[in-house]
Structure 1
Amino acid sequence: MIPISDRAGLWLTIVTVAATLVGLAAHWAGAGQIALAAWVLAYLAGGVPAGQDALRALFTERALDIDLLMVIAALAAAAVGAPLEGAVLLALFSVSGTLEDRAMDRARRAVEALMQLRPDFALLRRGDEVVEVRSETLMPGDVVVLRPGARVPVDGRIVSGAGSLDESTITGESLPVSRAIGDQVFEATVNLNGVLDVEVTRPLADSTVARMIRLVTEAQAARAPSERFSDWFGQRYTVAVLGGSIIAYLAFLALGHDMDSALYRAATLLVAASPCAVVISVPAAILSALSAAARGGVLFKGGGALETLASVRSFAFDKTGTLTTGKAEVRRIAAADGDEPAMLALLAGIEAHSEHPIAAALRAEAAERGIVPVPATGVMAHPSEGVTADGELWAGNRRLAARMGADPAADGLRGFDEASETVVWLGRGARVIGAAAVADRPRTSSRQGLAQLRQGGVHTLAMMTGDRRPVAERIGAELGLREDEIHADLMPADKVELIASMTADGRVAYVGDGVNDAAALARADVGIAMGAAGSDVALQAAGVALMSEDMTRLAEAHRLARRTATIIRQNLVFALGAMVVLVSGALFWDLPLPLAVIGHEGGTVLVVLNGLRLLADPIRRPSSAPAQGAGKAPAMA
């Protein structure tokens, strides 16, 4: 299309339309010289930019541009004594291009909107003083002061104070979220009340907004399969149209038409068969959907992920931190020798540096009881098993206990294994010295979100976890999952194999949030990172990022993807159908060139406007779904 996104291009379009109208009025008034001058101006203002673009594409990219077809058709009309039709063609082509570019700009403004969220300055605490500095100068470890009404300048963690934050700019969450000491806060969110001291955890270049900007930019640059096909089709079809018009010209001559009539009808065919509507119909819908999703807190890494999600009918979910809150609670503890405080001190010490929700629950239990953790050295994490430390100390599940040569049942702690809870065994070498039962609970939005996915045509909802079967069955029952959809006692490699087996029934999406979900996210047809504002590893492996931990957003994203696929089909059917009608008219019914122009440009604008309907259909949050937190540490189970 004619490049008219800038001010100069817009003025050229205005001049083209005005000159065409003046020429038309002068023609009707019998002022031939004025009409001719106006049409020459219209040809120059509307045809020269299009001709330059067409020649640039031809010589630099070795591609025939649709602009070339329009310029040739306009010149052909002038050559046969129909400059009015040629001027109208260029005028409508310019207007159509203006409307398309303006419309597509609306879909591209997501990045600009994200950039505007960033506060330029922050209040930095230096000892007893508070000074104003530019946000980009903040580094990890700095402490900034947030007063009521202030936007968070960078990602950080609260070290003093408590309050409510509006996180809708990042997560799309409409309700304020309570935050206190130790909680994460994200750049561009708003502190509604209270004075907070926030320790910077990421530089500005790696902040949540920076990552969102990169995701949106990459998504808009990435081409969906249907977009790549429409580009491929458009290029080859343009060559076919140009060649077909030449053949049609010769055929009309052979059928007895004079040269002017044959050239006029060939020019009409050239306009009628132009694939502009076909080429623009797919990106118009894709870009609109990407922008609508971003406003709702769902980021697609490209149109390919959007198209794939539309055809997904099987979803697999990590349990801990995805379907559940990830905020485990210690239900009971026991020590083999009866000294529970000493056992809990060892357990909290070995879990001191783990980011797993279970480790956080154990540390919180020790703190609540006033127990000081015993420091452990040489701590090493074992995904889906637990942790080990120097001195043969270890804490984890039954798999780790078996690897250490320990048998929990032999140490008088048999009852823990029968509970539908997650059990953390503590041992030294082959001897178990204690255990803690920890329970998680489903997110309040999970059951509703899964139900909405089923209503949307999803036939399989598989829950995958490294926890024992009784734990998984308890959570699955609360979520309304079938027994055959609950998979427990899985290692990370087991999840990958299970996803591979599910792909036999169609495309599969995997939803996870943690470090050990990366392989499963990559193996699925589309990986979806849950709570991506706080999960770097999952975000890198996923094709879709849910910035909120509200599971209903996933169902909404799936609905939007399916609606996008429907609109793309509508656009293609309409564009191809209109092309068939116009080409038939040009070949068999002597279709006038102005009608071909109106049909072609009108159809192009209509498919763009149909795609833009997705901008008015953003990710919605059902009012019945309570607010969720926005971020947390990556899970390992």
Structure 2
Amino acid sequence: MKRFSFDLPTCLSLVTVLGLLLAATGIWGPAGGHALLKWSGVTLVFLAGGVPTAWSALSSLYRQRILDIDLLMITAAVAAAVVGAAFEGAVLLTLFSVSTTLEHRALGRARRAVEALMALRPETASRKGADGAVVEIPASELVVGDVVILRPGARVPADGVIAHGRGGVDEANITGESMPVSKEPGQQVFEATINLDGVLEVVVSRTVADSTIARMIRLVTEAQEARAPSERFSAWFGQRYTVAVIVGAALAFIIFFLLGRDWEQALYRAATLLVTASPCAIVISAPAAILSALSAAARGGVLFKGGGAIETLAAVKTFAFDKTGTLTTGRATVNQIVASDGDEDGFLSLLAGVEAHSEHHIAAAILRETAARGLTGVAVTDVSAHPSAGILGRDSLGQVWAGNARMVSAMGATIDNPALTQLEEEARTVVYLGRGPKVLGAVTVADEARATSAPALQALRDSGVRKIVMLTGDRRPVALRIGGELGIAPEDIRAGMLPKDKVDAIGELARDGTVAFVGDGVNDAAALARADVGIAMGAAGSDVALQAADVALLSENMRKLAEAHHLARRTVSIIRQNFIFAIGAMLVLVTGGLFFNLPLPLAVIGHEGGTVLVVLNGLRLLSDRIRTPDPR
């Protein structure tokens, strides 16, 4: 059971409750009550609930020139005391103090997502020295290049790359995925994930200060501080409306007095109006929902860069997707090798030497095939990349290049080998290798659609998304094969695109409404930035993805995208519910205060109760399904 913490606001609220009970006993206690008890209780409430509220209100007024809601409450309480309704003023201050404390504690549940992330971080690490000795040190002392030993059950102390060993790693803390991920040498592991079996040697690639967890903490913190449009509106409205309420209450006092009420009755009605017209519930409507959604998403492996990204994603009706590494696994395999001179091993070694300088998924497939054959890549220097075309470099014999048909054309080469020409007809990616204007051969590489892509796209369609488009630099036959498996219409598939073409395509789609682009965050940074909402897929450990995107899916599970879209739409719906309820409740209370002699205690209960209900409605998002691990 969680221990209840007694901070200063909580203690003051408890004192106001005690004071109110004391005052009530003095009024309605045995033998007709006791005046000393009544006034002792009322004084206690005004000291514990009124003085801190007044100090906060006057500080805001003096330092920031802001008239906040605290000023309305303290003014109403003082007015009640002046007209002889001190007990009603005590009721107001008590309920305001208690409701404010409940709001802070409730919203604190949302903010504790950051604390939960920090609690996952291991404090120590087993570092392996140059002499092979393993020493236990604080994780904060690890530096890039250190080798740490991970035994079964150990948490990863810092981001790194596996040097030796194989095993399953539980990444649920980072990605929200319930199933362990098999890891082997050369693959990344992230801080705070758990090594389930086997002994792993990991080379630290990021210090604790720059790790994935550290960046998640920074992003969640920044996101909770960044205001969404609805939050900015409620704050703007609250400031100006507070002034209007004070002016309105003053006018109401004058009007009631002129209509024949004595000054005490007129002031009492004006105090009631101050309470009923206070916009507490309206101001808290958006933050309660936004903070809860941000926290739920973070625990589910999705990072929103602020409430604005949530509200924009909810409005998206067109999704554009990169293909490789986004809709597909990105773990391609080499299917066929055609070497013009018949020497497949020599051809593959030279191709691997060129592709070793690329971080593309296709390059990784070629390097894996080379390693599987026991070959090593040829040394290639002076390498330069040609985006969406290929790579150019030099070996001991001169200039050498590798790439797609666009690269072939750029190098002035021609494909006159029938075996190579036939490869173009297959629904696979073709990578050519050449020297100057001569093509030395080619390989075909195939990538498969993610198992989660088809159900995720269907979930988006079911939620009302009108258009799903694939934008890829690959050849059209390859794009059609993957698109057909995922149910994407041929007319919505655009192939052979350069990075600039993707940006232009998103601009064209944006003319019909809000557009989201989903990419791997490395090759698609410009498109991510151009879209109304940029969504980086599998962004854990990727600096480019976290910087360029508005939303980062830390896992490679496409279902998380559909869940993030569902959460965004649900958040906007709850904000709308809160606004409607808050405004409706305020209108009812104001009407009662103006025309039906609504008692001040009842006005206080209606006002504070409505505020708490709005907060609780927003907190429902903390249990959204995005936090539920996928039982695949």
Q: Which residue of 1 aligns with 2:13?
A: 13
- Measured against aligned partners, the alpha-carbon deviations of 1:25-79 in whole angstroms (never above 9, x if no partner) come to 1112331122112101111110000000000000001000100100010011111
| Contact residue 19 and residue 39 of structure 1 kept, 8 A | yes
Match of residue 427, structure 1, among 419, 434, 440: 434
Unaligned 5+ segments in structure 1 are 627-637
Q: Aligned partners of 1:534 and 1:105: how far apart in 2?
A: 28
Q: Which residue of 1 aligns with 2:88?
A: 85
- Measured against aligned partners, the alpha-carbon deviations of 1:458-503 in whole angstroms (never above 9, x if no partner) come to 1111111100100100010011111122110000000000000111
Q: 1:206 to 1:580 in 2, by over 3 A?
A: same
The residue correspondences of 1:269-348 to structure 2 (distance < 5 A) are 269-348=273-352
Amino acid at match of 1:10: T
Amino acid at match of 2:365: A
State the shift of 1:392 in Å: 2.0
Q: Aligned partners of 1:108 and 1:537: how far apart in 2?
A: 26
Q: Aligned partners of 2:404 and 2:270: how far apart in 1?
A: 77
SS at match of 1:418: coil
**Residue 22 (str. 1) matches residue 22 (str. 2):** yes
| Contact residue 556 and residue 620 of structure 1 kept, 8 A | no
The residue correspondences of 1:355-370 to structure 2 (distance < 5 A) are 355-370=359-374
| Contact residue 538 and residue 552 of structure 2 kept, 8 A | yes
Q: Aligned partners of 1:171 and 1:13: how far apart in 2?
A: 40
Amino acid at match of 1:53: S
SS at match of 2:511: helix
State the shift of 1:5 in Å: 9.2
Q: Aligned partners of 1:195 and 1:368: how far apart in 2?
A: 23
Q: Aligned partners of 2:386 and 2:218: how far apart in 1?
A: 32
Q: Which residue of 2 aligns with 1:40?
A: 43
State the shift of 1:206 in Å: 1.2
Q: Which residue of 1 aligns with 2:524?
A: 517
State the shift of 1:175 in Å: 1.1
Q: Aligned partners of 1:615 and 1:159: how far apart in 2?
A: 39
**Residue 103 (str. 1) matches residue 110 (str. 2):** no
The residue correspondences of 1:187-586 to structure 2 (distance < 5 A) are 187-390=191-394, 391-409=398-416, 413-586=420-593
| Contact residue 299 and residue 627 of structure 2 kept, 8 A | no
SS at match of 2:381: coil
SS at match of 2:337: strand
State the shift of 1:355 in Å: 1.4
Q: Which residue of 1 aligns with 2:621?
A: 614
- Measured against aligned partners, the alpha-carbon deviations of 1:116-168 in whole angstroms (never above 9, x if no partner) come to 11111100001220001111111111110001110000001111111111110
Q: Aligned partners of 1:454 and 1:620: how far apart in 2?
A: 22
Q: Aligned partners of 1:155 and 1:352: how far apart in 2?
A: 23
SS at match of 1:389: strand
Amino acid at match of 1:71: I
Q: Aligned partners of 1:48 and 1:621: how far apart in 2?
A: 45
Moved beyond 4 Å, runs of 4+: 620-624
Q: 1:575 to 1:87 in 2, by over 3 A?
A: same
| Contact residue 249 and residue 271 of structure 2 kept, 8 A | yes
| Contact residue 354 and residue 393 of structure 2 kept, 8 A | yes
Amino acid at match of 1:567: I
Q: Which residue of 2 aligns with 1:634?
A: none
SS at match of 1:516: coil
SS at match of 2:424: helix
| Contact residue 552 and residue 622 of structure 1 kept, 8 A | no
Match of residue 599, structure 1, among 567, 589, 606: 606
- Measured against aligned partners, the alpha-carbon deviations of 1:360-415 in whole angstroms (never above 9, x if no partner) come to 11111122222222111111122211110022200000111100001124575211
| Contact residue 521 and residue 548 of structure 2 kept, 8 A | no
| Contact residue 536 and residue 552 of structure 2 kept, 8 A | yes
Q: Aligned partners of 2:549 and 2:370: how far apart in 1?
A: 36
| Contact residue 330 and residue 436 of structure 1 kept, 8 A | yes
| Contact residue 5 and residue 101 of structure 1 kept, 8 A | no
Q: Aligned partners of 1:24 and 1:17: how far apart in 2?
A: 10
Q: Aligned partners of 2:526 and 2:16: how far apart in 1?
A: 56
Q: Aligned partners of 1:5 and 1:218: how far apart in 2?
A: 26
TM-score (norm 2): 0.97
SS at match of 1:506: coil
| Contact residue 76 and residue 264 of structure 1 kept, 8 A | yes
Amino acid at match of 2:588: V
| Contact residue 552 and residue 621 of structure 1 kept, 8 A | no
State the shift of 1:618 in Å: 3.8
